[in-house]
Amino acid sequence: MLLVFILAAALWGIGYMAGVSRNARYLSVGVLLAGVLVIQLTLPDGHPLREATGGSAALWLILGGVAVLVLIYGKVLKALRNRAAPRQPEVSVMQPDKFSETELERYARHIVLRELGGPGQKKMKQARVLVIGAGGLGAPALQYLAAAGVGTIGVIDDDVVENANLQRQVIHRDADIGMPKVFSAQQAMQAQNPNVTVLPYHRRLTDEIAADLFADFDLILDGTDNFDTRYLANRTAVAQGKPLISGALSQWEGQLSVFDPASETPCYQCIFPEAPAPGLAPSCAEAGVIGPLPGVVGSMMAVETIKVITEAGQALRGEMLIYDALYGESRKITLARRSDCPICGALDA
């Protein structure tokens, strides 16, 4: 019997050293044991070869049965573990200019649009857009940019979700109260479209980081509610020659424009040379705002973003769209560039 164990160990060791697979080694040992059983069952009692291999078939049958039970137990245990373990989602690594079948189906309504088509959708997949603010204007803009398939979306905001936000900032949920807005928005966007990359920056936009941050993106959306940040975003975008899509809200009225001095149109500071005196431009918290209004204007900002990326139609460069929700009216006004603008005036030289 000892001889059989030595031969089995030798077969296993030689197979291991030769790089033979585990299954093949199990097979070789199984063939050896099968040969031993044949010897025990066919040769007469007292035969030297039978005595050298244990002298009894019953013992080998018991050992073989135990081995089979152990193997079956291992297989069943492994199958149960695989079922209990959480399945990792299959992530298909796609090239920036290639679409999966899922993406083609998802963006089919874009692709059939004459003004967009496949080339336009590809431009969106390759685009990098930064949204400043994940609040009233940022919420719908982020949702629709993600749904539309903009490949990389950055969002910067230092605020956290509050109960008072939920009347209009529909990207956030009640369960998100207390969570940084950028992470709440990221979760919602990636749940809606896992094919886009969301880059959250939980901090305030400052002079120290603005230039480096803007350099990583193709165009900027400004959905903030204070003039300091708007002026900072404007001068940084102008310095880098990047379009700035800006929106604003108050009570029942919203406005938006595309500021792009590189296209010989005015910048934000051409239109608003200086911040209004305290009290003349109250915030939404002070003056109030109707809940769906940010959704209307923020969605318009997403539309303008897609138009700028794909060069479809005519973006609101040199124009401002003003929407009055109380009376259901909208109008456009023409904006003029100022040669004495401290931000973009030097571009005329």
d(CA 31, CA 40): 14
Overall average pLDDT of the 4-12 stretch: 67
Position 348 scores a pLDDT of 57
Position 4 scores a pLDDT of 62
Distance between alpha carbon 286 and the CA centroid of its chain, in Å?
34
Q: Which of 312, 310, 315, 311 is nearest to 120 (CA)?
A: 310
Position 28 scores a pLDDT of 72
Strand partners, 331: 322
Position 31 scores a pLDDT of 72
As a whole number, the mean pLDDT across the chain is: 85
Biggest alpha carbon–alpha carbon distance for the chain: 115
Check whether domain 101-348 has CATH 3.40.50.720, yes or no: yes
Amino acid sitting at position 190:
Q
DSSP assignment of 222-259 equals E--S-HHHHHHHHHHHHHHT--EEEEEEEBTEEEEEEE
**pLDDT tens digits for range 166-212:** 999 999 999 999 999 999 999 999 999 999 999 999 999 999 999 99
Q: 220 pLDDT exceeds 90? A: yes
Q: Which residue has the higher pLDDT, 76 or 232?
A: 232
d(CA 305, CA 348): 25
Position 200 scores a pLDDT of 96
Q: 89 pLDDT exceeds 60? A: no
Query: How far is CA 152 from each of CA 41, 87, 197, rounded to the nearest angstrom?
Result: 72, 26, 5
Q: Which residue has the higher pLDDT, 311 or 283?
A: 311
Residues with Cβ < 8 Å from 14, sequence gap 6 or more?
none
Per-residue confidence band for 73, with pLDDT thresholds at 50, 70 and 90: confident
Q: How far apart are the first and last CA of the chain?
A: 100
Q: Which residue has the higher pLDDT, 45 or 2?
A: 45
d(CA 342, CA 26): 81
Query: How far is CA 270 from each of CA 254, 263, 304, 321, rounded to the nearest angstrom?
Result: 19, 14, 20, 16
- According to CATH, where is 3.40.50.720 located in the chain? 101-348
Least confident of 25-39, 93-107, 192-206: 25-39
Confidence (pTM): 0.71
Structure tokens at 224: 């903030």
Least confident of 12-16, 121-125, 310-314: 12-16
Strand partners, 211: none
- Running DSSP on this structure, what letter comes out for residue 317? B
- 67-99 b/e with 16+ CB inside 10 Å = b? eeeeeeeeeeeeeeeeeeeeeeeeeeeeeeeeb
Position 90 scores a pLDDT of 43
